[in-house]
């Protein structure tokens, strides 16, 4: 990819409404998985991948505005709600998981005043629950997962820039909100990075202060991105602003969902944390799907693990790996219909020199596919 003439890469930050929906969905699934494991020794059937966010209304102002109408969050999905005659506290568990995620992610969100959470998770399908009861890890869908490695320079710039804004930098600059979007367009050796970052009104005194924050962020991104590549980098921040008309990306909470922006699971980043139209992608929403038999989640994460390990064992002989895995409903997830690894080899390298190691990596991960489940439940692998 680094040798292609053009490239587009996007990342929706952790505070984007689509990412919030993903994060809540995944947090609920993880909480249910831990509850089921603790009480029943196995992860029971559930899917929480239909979470919806409806934007509220706000009146931001320099020095601090107010949220006029709360953000509405609808927690939707299916779960095992009763075992025998014992009813499982699934609603309290999932709601707490959603609240904990919001508290951890959104520093300026008042959980008592700014958000309404409505849990409508219900009993799951009997047929799909049956696939769980066998404990044979049978696929619950005919679906595919896709992954590639390594990241290109543009991928890395986009991914790491958002991580820096929502990591180190918003601790240094309190005016930076969590709702961030980073988009990069590369044309040959020129990379244009566009950043949109919601600003928190209570930490900004006036328009000049706002402009200074934007310029400071622009400078930080330019220095950071330039350190990740030798290509020419140009950075723009909050390009929808119109200083003459006093149109600014000013918010009360640092989140665009406070004022009309909605969010849904699966509309944002793919399982590798990026949106990459020049690369193979699956449209499956990985977040919130059960981590045991839902191949829409497992195979996307598995493909990424295989691709990254293939690059490692390639030791420079393999420049790029694309992995695609297809399941069949009702069949064991460790025996897919198709497991394809497409390689881009370094100049002069023959496929015969690497194919044995690539097959070995792929077979090992498929044989130990339950490892993905553990990584997910332990929160050691991201889904968005």
Same domain assignment for residues 195 and 222: yes
The two tokens of residue 203 are 């930490």
Residue 68 burial (CB count, 10 A): 12
Same domain assignment for residues 254 and 275: no
- Predicted pLDDT at 327: 95
Same domain assignment for residues 243 and 318: no
Residue 150, preceding bond cis, omega within 30 degrees? yes
Same domain assignment for residues 300 and 232: no
- Predicted pLDDT at 84: 81
- Of 261, 290, 309, the one marking the end of a domain is 261
Matching residue, tokens 């497409």: 342
pLDDT surpasses 50 at 131: no
Same domain assignment for residues 289 and 189: no
The domain that contains 285 carries what CATH number?
3.30.300.280
Matching residue, tokens 């209570």: 202
Determine the average pLDDT of the residues in 268-279: 97
- Of 261, 284, 302, the one marking the end of a domain is 261
Same domain assignment for residues 246 and 273: no
**What confidence tier does 135 reach under pLDDT thresholds 50, 70, 90?**
low
User: Is 52 domain-assigned?
Assistant: yes
Same domain assignment for residues 171 and 249: yes
Convert 133-153 to b/e letters by CB count within 10 Å (16 or more is b). eeeebbbbbebbbbbbbbbbb
pLDDT surpasses 60 at 12: yes
Report whether 257 contacts 55 (CB < 8 A): yes
pLDDT > 90 fraction of the chain, expressed in percent and rounded: 91
The domain that contains 175 carries what CATH number?
3.30.300.340
350 phi and psi, to 5 degrees? -90, 145
Same domain assignment for residues 257 and 272: no
The SS3 call for residue 101 is helix
pLDDT digits (tens, 9 = 90+) for 311-347: 999 999 999 999 999 999 999 999 999 999 999 999 9
- Predicted pLDDT at 83: 86
- What's the total number of domains in the chain? 3
What DSSP string runs through 199-237? EEGGG--SHHHHHHHHHHHHHHHHHHHHTT-SSEEEEEE
Determine the average pLDDT of the residues in 15-35: 97
Cα–Cα distance, 215 to 202 (Å, whole number): 18
Residue 381 burial (CB count, 10 A): 16
Residues 6+ apart with CB under 8 A from 308: 149, 150
Same domain assignment for residues 252 and 327: no
Matching residue, tokens 């696939």: 131
Among the residue ranges 86-90, 128-132, 273-277, the one predicted with the least confidence is 128-132
Among the residue ranges 63-72, 122-131, 331-340, the one predicted with the least confidence is 122-131
Q: Would the CA dihedral through 29, 30, 33, 39 be positive or negative? A: negative
Same domain assignment for residues 249 and 272: no
DSSP structure class, residue 258: G
The domain that contains 77 carries what CATH number?
3.30.300.10
pLDDT surpasses 60 at 186: yes
181 phi and psi, to 5 degrees? -135, 135
What angle, 0 to 180 degrees and rounded to 10, lies between the N-to-C axes of helices 207-226 and 153-164?
Answer: 140
- Predicted pLDDT at 136: 63
pTM > 0.85: yes or no: yes
- Predicted pLDDT at 126: 47
Cα–Cα distance, 32 to 38 (Å, whole number): 10
Helix segments in the chain, DSSP class H: 17-40, 90-105, 126-133, 153-164, 170-172, 207-226, 295-314, 355-367, 370-377
Cα–Cα distance, 341 to 358 (Å, whole number): 8
- Predicted pLDDT at 312: 97
pLDDT > 70 fraction of the chain, expressed in percent and rounded: 97
The two tokens of residue 96 are 């707490």
* Cα 140 from chain centre: 22
User: Is 135 domain-assigned?
Assistant: no
User: Is 137 domain-assigned?
Assistant: no
**What confidence tier does 132 reach under pLDDT thresholds 50, 70, 90?**
low
Same domain assignment for residues 231 and 275: no
What is the rounded radius of gyration, in angstroms, for the C-alpha atoms of the chain?
A: 22
What's the whole-number average pLDDT of the chain?
95
Q: Which of 234, 220, 152, 230 is nearest to 180 (CA)?
A: 220
User: Is 134 domain-assigned?
Assistant: no
Cα–Cα distance, 252 to 243 (Å, whole number): 19
User: Is 384 domain-assigned?
Assistant: no
Cα–Cα distance, 49 to 139 (Å, whole number): 17
- Of 261, 279, 307, the one marking the end of a domain is 261
165 phi and psi, to 5 degrees? -60, -45
Determine the average pLDDT of the residues in 46-50: 94
Residue 182 belongs to what domain range? 6-12+152-261
pLDDT digits (tens, 9 = 90+) for 76-104: 999 999 888 888 999 999 999 999 999 99
- Predicted pLDDT at 134: 43
């Amino acid at each position: 990819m680094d040798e292609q003439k053009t490239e587009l890469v996007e990342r929706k930050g952790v505070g984007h409404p689509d990412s919030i929906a993903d994060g809540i969905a995944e947090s609920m699934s993880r909480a249910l998985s831990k509850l089921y494991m603790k009480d029943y020794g196995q992860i029971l059937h559930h899917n929480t991948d239909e979470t919806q966010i409806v934007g509220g209304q706000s009146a931001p102002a320099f020095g601090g505005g107010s949220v006029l109408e709360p953000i509405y969050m609808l927690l939707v999905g299916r779960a095992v709600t009763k075992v025998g005659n014992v009813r499982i506290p699934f609603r309290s568990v999932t709601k707490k998981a959603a609240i904990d995620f919001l508290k951890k992610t959104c520093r300026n969100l008042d959980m008592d005043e700014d958000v309404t959470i409505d849990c409508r998770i219900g009993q799951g399908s009997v047929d799909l629950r049956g696939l769980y009861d066998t404990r044979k890890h049978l696929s619950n869908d005919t679906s595919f997962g896709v992954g590639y490695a390594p990241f290109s320079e543009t991928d890395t710039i986009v991914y790491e820039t958002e991580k820096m804004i929502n990591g180190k930098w918003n601790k240094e600059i309190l005016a930076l909100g969590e709702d961030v979007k980073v988009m990069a367009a590369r044309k040959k050796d020129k990379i244009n990075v566009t950043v949109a970052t919601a600003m928190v009104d209570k930490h900004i005194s006036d328009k000049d202060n706002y402009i200074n924050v934007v310029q400071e962020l622009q400078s930080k991104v330019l220095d950071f991105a330039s350190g990740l590549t030798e290509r020419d980098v140009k950075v723009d921040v909050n390009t929808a602003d119109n200083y003459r008309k006093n149109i600014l990306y000013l918010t009360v909470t640092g989140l665009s969902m406070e004022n009309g922006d909605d969010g849904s699971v699966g509309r944002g980043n793919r399982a590798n944390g990026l949106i990459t139209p020049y690369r193979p992608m699956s449209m499956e929403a990985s977040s919130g799907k059960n981590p045991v038999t839902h191949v829409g989640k497992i195979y996307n994460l598995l493909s990424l693990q295989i691709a990254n390990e293939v690059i490692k064992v390639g030791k420079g002989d393999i420049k790029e790996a694309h992995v695609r895995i297809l399941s069949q409903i009702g069949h064991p997830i460790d025996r897919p219909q198709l497991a394809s690894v497409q390689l881009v080899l370094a100049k002069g390298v023959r496929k015969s020199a690497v194919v044995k190691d690539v097959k070995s990596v792929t077979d090992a991960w498929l044989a130990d596919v339950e490892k993905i489940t553990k990584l997910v439940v332990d929160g050691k692998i991201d889904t968005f």
